[in-house]
Amino acid sequence: MPSVGLVNMGPAPLRAAATEQALAEGAAPAEAAALAADGTSPAADNNASAAYHQHLARVLVRRALEEASSR
């Protein structure tokens, strides 16, 4: 089962467990990536809101999964 790690999405690095589970169940990369921010609590900062950090996690995980699946 592939591992998906996230940083800056809570007080410590964490695994995107919902994404990993979806991949294990055969979900497409885009479907699994949509779950990447589930259970996270990123802090807002001077550059972006917490909601934007969650959006960015979903986008970057999708890109990474699509790139990995194309190899």
Number of domains observed in the structure of the chain: 1
Residues 16, 48 contacting (CB under 8 angstroms): no
What is the pTM for the complete model shown?
A: 0.91
Query: Could you read off the pLDDT of 4-60 as tens digits, one per residue?
Result: 999 999 999 999 999 999 999 999 999 999 999 999 999 999 999 999 999 999 999
**Domain range spanning residue 30?**
5-69
User: What does residue 4 show for φ and ψ, rounded to 5 degrees?
Assistant: -130, 115
